[in-house]
């Protein structure tokens, strides 16, 4: 006798990055911080490239102004915005929300949670982590 067995059909389906094939050179940018956004915006108007912007978050945020939002000095939308909104009008910019698990430079592809993505040019703009300067209590409280 089965007891409330549930299998999601989504877990059985293979995931794909769903990026259209093109004759243009593909530039894959990993990281949508300031560096990744800058290069993606600079290349977005080019007729020569297809841009794939990969980040694990669906948004870009300017962390140094969090205190302004916390004290009602700024609206949250002033320091954070969805990545897809920034590139909404560009047909050759594709934003994918995923994590990169492997780089295969010999075959010019990256492996993500969505699957493999080939590239002609790869840009790593992964940024940095916050430094708590050895303050373990601050890190524990802020990262709960």
Does position 70 have pLDDT exceeding 80, yes or no? yes
In the predicted model, what is the mean pLDDT of residues 23-31?
Answer: 96
Residue 140 has pLDDT above 90, yes or no: no
Average pLDDT of the residues in 61-73: 82
**80: which 2 tokens?**
């954070």
Q: pLDDT tens, 83-132?
A: 888 899 999 999 999 999 999 999 999 999 999 999 999 999 988 766 66
Of the ranges 12-16, 28-32, 39-43, 108-112, which one carries the lowest mean pLDDT score?
A: 12-16
Closest CA to 51 of 114, 94, 99: 94
Q: Which residues contact 14 (CB under 8 A, 6 or more apart)?
A: 115
Q: Looking at the predicted structure, is the pLDDT value of residue 53 above 90?
A: yes
| Phi/psi at 122 (5° precision) | -120, 130
Domain boundaries, the chain: 15-142
| Chain-centroid distance, C-alpha 38 | 14
- How large is the average pLDDT for residues 36-48? 94
Tokens found for residue 144: 């709960």
Q: Where are the alpha helices (DSSP H) in the chain?
A: 9-12, 34-44, 66-70, 83-86, 136-142
CATH of domain 15-142: 3.50.50.60
Please give the pLDDT value at position 90.
93
Q: What is the arithmetic mean of pLDDT over 10-30?
A: 81
Helix, coil or strand: residue 137: helix
Q: For tokens 């694990």, name the residue.
A: 56
């Amino acid at each position: 006798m089965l007891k409330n067995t549930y299998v999601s059909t989504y877990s059985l389906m293979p995931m794909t990055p769903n990026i259209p094939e093109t004759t243009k050179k593909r530039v894959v940018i990993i990281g949508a911080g300031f560096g990744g956004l800058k290069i993606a915006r600079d290349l977005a108007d080019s007729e020569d490239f297809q841009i794939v912007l990969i980040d694990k978050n669906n948004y870009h945020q300017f962390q140094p102004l969090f205190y302004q939002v916390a004290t009602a000095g700024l609206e949250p939308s002033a320091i954070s915005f969805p990545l897809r909104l920034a590139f909404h009008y560009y047909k050759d910019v594709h934003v994918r929300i995923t994590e990169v698990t492997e780089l295969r430079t010999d075959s010019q592809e990256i492996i993500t949670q969505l699957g493999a993505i080939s590239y002609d040019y790869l840009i790593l703009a992964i940024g940095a982590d916050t430094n708590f300067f050895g303050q373990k209590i601050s890190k524990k409280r802020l990262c709960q």
